[in-house]
Amino acid sequence: MAIVEREPIAEATLVETAAPSAAALRRPHATTGAWSWFTTIDHKKIGILYGATAFVFFIVGGLEALLIRLQLARPNGHVLSAEAYNQIFTMHGLTMIFLVVMPLSNGFANYIVPLQIGARDVAFPRLNAFGYWVFVIGGLFLYSSFLLGGAPNGGWFNYAPLSAHQFAPGHNIDFYVLGIQILGIASLTSAVNLIVTIINMRAPGMSFMRMPVFTWMTLVVNFLLLFAMPVIAVALVLLTFDRLFGTNFFNVSAGGDPLLWQHLFWLFGHPEVYILILPAMGVVSEVLPVFSRKPLFGYPFVVFSGIAIGFMGWGVWAHHMFAAGLGPVATSGFAISTMLIAVPTGVKIFNWLATIAGGSVRAKTPFLMAVGFVTMFVIGGLSGVTHSIVPADTQQTDTYYIVAHFHYVLFGGSMFGLFAGFYYWWPKVFGYSLNDRIGKVQFWLMLIGFNATFGPMHILGLQGMPRRIYRYAPGMGWSTWNFIETIGAFIIAFSVFLFIVNVWRSKRAQVAAGDDPWDARTLEWATSSPPPPYNFAEIPVVHSRDDLWRRKYVEDEDGKVMPVPPVASTEEDQEAGEVHVHMPSPSYFPLVAALGLPIIGYGLIYHLIWVDVIGLLVLLTGVYAWALEPPTEPEVEIEAHGEPDHPDGDGEPEPVPALTAGGTEGGSE
């Protein structure tokens, strides 16, 4: 990126193309250096930012978990007060759901999906950056509550009217309602962006039934987000109005209905469960075929099961509310739908097993993590089916059995799947592999620690130990298991520490991974590691499912797999020369617009209208400057022709001056 040679053009074109509001603040064009991370709109950099930020939150949420386990290690623990305990377990849940698993999945989707479908970027690069900044700022807003009088303390589902002003004075819950609202905006923008990207920006020949399963699951997840986020937004708006402006939605003395919050929350909350697990299922569906050296068994079944889960996920929410007493008809209906949704999930499990069966398995770390996902998720899935038995569920509600269940699906499921993704895609993203030996040690420690922590919770729950108690008496028979769980939690913490050590050591070792270290099947492995900013010099034309594999291998008449004899492909020709691809320019304004939101939030919490006005002005400034600047500054990269498929979706389409590469390059040199 030789910027110097283009300076003269920058002077000339800035005046005519940039909007007056943007002219004062010069468009950033650095693509390297620390500052470039604040203005980047490259989907790969944003993917890395999502991953890194979410991992920091993972450490924070993990430390909160250790505090909880220390408090409960012994009867009558005295590490935390009751109030502090409430805040810590609430923030642990919110962090792990909204600030770890969702953004980590989104980070993978951001980085991998455009590569898998053969696109140069997402459909709306600046909207992508906006979504990331809103997520970071929303997370910081939520955590600022610790400094401003106390964090949310009503559990992640924050039942109203217990969270209404009457029973929860103080600003704790205000930070919940506004913080989750801000994070919802991040998810919504990201969902619109990824849906459009996957539907509209597939490479030629990449039909829906040729798409990699990770891309498929990302599509399903983002449709779930698109429809689930407005529902929680309304629930949060109603509670916000109750708390800040004195409406009566959850005011029982005025006739308000406590079930309203539960219905709205779980109508969002159950699709949310699939939002958390489907991306990990996608990762596993990529990893298992590669390391078994077989195509995914029953690809259409895996895809359609994922879609079926996406639809059925909307019909099971009330199984979270069996204890509320909805009446026999509603309860039976939701019990049956809950049993049914286990069917597509089971289909996937058997497809994964059949993929491994008979394959030439290479038990590298990503494979082990993926198998860990399948086994742990089966345990969590089965305990989930027990919730559909209404009398049993009534017994299990609000006990540690529930805690065991959702950690088996969220940690044993999602986190194992996402760690498989870390080990699998690390060489693609950074160009060097993670150490496999340390990875295997980490896997076994994590598996042992995980089962030691959450396995005994099944027993404790069935013995009647309630969730969310900060102390228990010595004579309950719960002490031994609780102590074992705390040891398990520290083993998990050590395994995560090993992962950090692995990253640090592998980064120093810098063992070059090559473009395709796993002999993989999908398009992200067809470009260099790390990929160039434009992903592919030449947009690939897709001829089959597992296109990269088909380019590498053929079957002879006995069905034996043989490598394709090497020919000089056009791609190698491209890589030989320097390629100029017109990519969208970096921008300040997504960050500026995102900064407006927490200011509005603080203004609402402290009833300061002038702060709200400032926040609104910041937001509007960002949005207008964003809309008026062209997606791509002509001076950054000179285009040789009107390119039909470069991503310039957001903002108004600005005609790019038709300069010829030969002429301008020559003139400026």
Partner 1 sequence: MSALATSAATTRTHEATPHATSTGLSNVKLAVWAFLASECLLFGALISTYLLYRGRSIVGPYPHQIYDIPYTSVSSFVLLMSSLTMVLALAAVQRGDTRRMRVWLLATALLGMTFVGGQAYEFTSFVRQGLTLHTNLFGSSFFVLTGFHGAHVTIGIVMLLSLFGLSLRGKLGPENAETVELIGLYWHFVDVVWIVIFTVVYLIPS
- Using CB under 8 A, list all residues that contact partner 1: 123-124, 188, 191-193, 195-196, 199-204, 206, 226-227, 229-231, 233-235, 237-238, 241, 245-249, 254-257, 260, 264, 537-539, 541, 573-574, 577-581, 624, 627, 640-641, 643-645, 647, 649-650, 652-653, 655, 660-662, 665-666
CB atoms within 10 A of CB 485: 23
Considering the complex, state which of residue 441 and residue 581 has its C-beta at the smaller distance from partner 1. 581
Q: Which is nearer to partner 1, 125 or 601 (CB)?
A: 125
Beta-ladder partners of 650: none
CB of 454 to partner 1, least distance (A): 34
Q: How far is the CB of 549 from partner 1 (least distance, A)?
A: 22
Residue 313 has a CB neighbour count (10 Å cut-off) of 22
Q: Would you say 293 and 339 are in contact if contact means Cβ atoms under 8 Å apart?
A: no
Q: Which is nearer to partner 1, 192 or 349 (CB)?
A: 192
Q: How far is the CB of 568 from partner 1 (least distance, A)?
A: 15
Of 275, 282, 156, 273, nearest in space to 214 by CA:
282
When the beta carbons of 474 and 642 are compared against partner 1, the nearer one is 642
Cis bond upstream, residue 563 (ω within 30): no
- Choose between 555 and 652: whose C-beta lies nearer to partner 1: 652
SS3 353: helix
Which of 211, 288 has the CB closer to partner 1? 211
We find the least distance from the C-beta atom of residue 227 to partner 1, in angstroms, to be 5
Smallest distance, Å, CB 117 to partner 1?
9
Query: 10 or 192, CB closer to partner 1?
Result: 192
Q: Name, in order, each residue with C-beta under 8 angstroms of 4's C-beta and a sequence gap of 6 or more.
A: none
DSSP 527: S
Task: Judge whether 639 and 584 are in contact, CB under 8 Å.
Answer: no
Residue from 301, 177, 152 nearest 234 by CA:
177
Q: Which is nearer to partner 1, 183 or 203 (CB)?
A: 203
**CA 40/CA 589 separation, integer angstroms:** 11
Q: Give the C-alpha distances (Å, rounded to integers) separating 242 from 28, 183, 245, 250, 255.
A: 43, 20, 6, 7, 13
CA distance 520 to 290: 5
Taking the complex as a whole, how short is the minimal distance between the CB of residue 258 and partner 1, in angstroms?
Answer: 12
Distance in Å, CB of 121 to partner 1, minimum? 11
Dig out the tokens for 291 from the structure: 């390391």
Cβ proximity to partner 1: between 398 and 645 the closer is: 645
Q: Is 244 helix (H, G, I), strand (E, B) or coil?
A: helix
What is the chain's percent helix, strand, coil content, to nearest 5?
Answer: 65, 0, 30
Distances (CA, A) of 7 to 4, 27, 585, 587, 636: 5, 13, 15, 18, 9
Nearer Cβ to partner 1 (219/434)? 219
Nearest Cα to Cα of residue 522 among 554, 548, 544, 540: 548
Is residue 462 a contact partner of residue 399, using CB atoms and an 8 Å limit?
yes
Q: What minimum distance in Å lies between the beta carbon of 152 and partner 1? A: 22
In whole angstroms, the minimum distance from the beta carbon of 231 to partner 1 comes to 5
- Minimum Å gap between C-beta 432 and partner 1 is 29
CB of 305 to partner 1, least distance (A): 23
CA dihedral over 101, 106, 108, 109, signed as positive or negative: positive
Which one, 102 or 283, has the nearer CB to partner 1? Answer: 102
Cβ burial 523-548 (10 Å sphere, 16+ → b, else e)? bbbbbebbbebbbbbeebebeebbbb
In the chain, what is the straight-line distance between the N-terminal and C-terminal CA atoms, in Å? 14
Contact 549, 630 (CB under 8 A): no
